[in-house]
Amino acid sequence: MRMTILAMPPVIPLIHRELFMSETQVGLLIGLPLALFAIAAVPGSLLIARLGVRLAVVVGMVIVALAGAARGAAIDIWTLYVAAIGTGLGVALMQPGLPTLVREWMPNRIALGTIAYSGGMLMGASLAPIFTIPFVLPLAGGSWRLDLLFWAIPAILIAPVFYVLSPPRDDRRAAIEAVAARWWPDWKNPLIWLLGFALGCNNSPYFAANALLGDYLASENLTHVLGSAIGWLNGSQVIALGLMLLTSKRLQRRAWPFAIFGPMMLAAFLALMFLPSAISVITAAAFIGFTGAITFTPILALPALLSNPGDVPRTAAGMFTISYSCAIVIPTLCGALWDLTGKPWVAFVPLCVCSVALTVFGVMVARHRLPAEKAPGR
């Protein structure tokens, strides 16, 4: 889900030079897949209802791989945008299915199941940024086009593996059962909005930081630390994954991850903005990745924990629609502020606001109670 998306940031400086992109266009390049995450999340819920969750996820995988490879064939910024949109479409079709699979496969261990699949997302997001600059680009002769093709190969290979190794179930019967279920989100439900804003304030800093870091370091004459900074921004998520595995029962519907790590994310962005040295940039990048990862998984677990089984896909779809609508605007806004002011550090101001909002919305949604829990005696 994230490997092909996150294969883009390490090669953005190369694409920037070849296609003569502005900073606003760079932000839009990251924002467009996120737009599809939002626009196609509800159709993804409908696809689950028509095909069954396993087949819907496989369809999304194939689209992600093919569109991810097509980015390498882009002849200008517009064809690159079209391929980026296709990549986002595939991810959007997959996303509502994953909380549903956790609910079906591990109904008594939802927190652990969520850590497992979000851990896979974090690993996929880490592999491309960590290995692209030191290993893949040299093997590709410095070609960003071949690099994007390379990262699409494991994405297509995983689809048949996932299908074969999934717990056996009659997909036709599952689809018939799902058709009867509701798939359109209940937009009047405040839970969906709380989940959406909390996840949006988590995703936006992560994607925007990946998009802007390369050009920001170039503006500060720190290009030589780009590989380390991108690597730590994404690799620190693996450390967070280990901590989450050890504390899975203590993350479930708890406010403390947001109350602690939201302010830590803010401090990291302030260090990135006002202490632009090699060591501070790498440290700040590591903390941004770590704090984003450790607040990401508790939010993802909530649709399955706070929804009836038949409502999980539509609750997740509503959450993703709202969250990635936020994440469309913010990376583009960051690039636009840079273009308008000519000051690179200003691009990170919206991400500081997101860090504060993540703390607030995260605590609110973690303390959200179901109607049955509000009843007397509960």
- Tokens for 323, please give them: 């969250």
Q: Write out pLDDT tens, residues 40-62.
A: 888 888 888 788 888 999 999 99
Which pLDDT score is estimated for 18?
Answer: 92
pLDDT at 307 over 80: no
Which pLDDT score is estimated for 374?
Answer: 57
Q: Write out pLDDT tens, residues 109-124.
A: 888 888 888 888 888 8
Which pLDDT score is estimated for 174?
Answer: 53
Which pLDDT score is estimated for 193?
Answer: 93
Whether the CB-CB separation of 313 and 183 falls below 8 Å is answered with yes
Which of 11-20, 235-244, 345-354 ranks highest by mean pLDDT? 345-354
Closest CA to 211 of 2, 17, 5: 5
Rounded-to-integer distance, Cα 10 and Cα 310, Å: 40
Q: Which long-range contacts (CB under 8 A, 24 or more apart) does 73-80 make?
A: 73/145, 74/19, 74/145, 76/19, 77/19, 77/21, 77/25, 80/15, 80/19, 80/29
Mean pLDDT of the region 30-41: 80
Q: Which domains does the chain have, with CATH numbers?
A: 9-373 (1.20.1250.20)
pLDDT at 378 over 50: no
Which pLDDT score is estimated for 168?
Answer: 76
pLDDT at 145 over 80: yes
Give the number of other Cβ atoms within 10 Å of residue 248's Cβ. 20
- Tokens for 324, please give them: 């990635």
Rounded-to-integer distance, Cα 197 and Cα 251, Å: 19
Whether the CB-CB separation of 266 and 356 falls below 8 Å is answered with yes
Residue appearing with tokens 């690799």: 235
Instruction: Please state the length of the chain.
Output: 378
Which pLDDT score is estimated for 169?
Answer: 66
- Tokens for 376, please give them: 């007397």
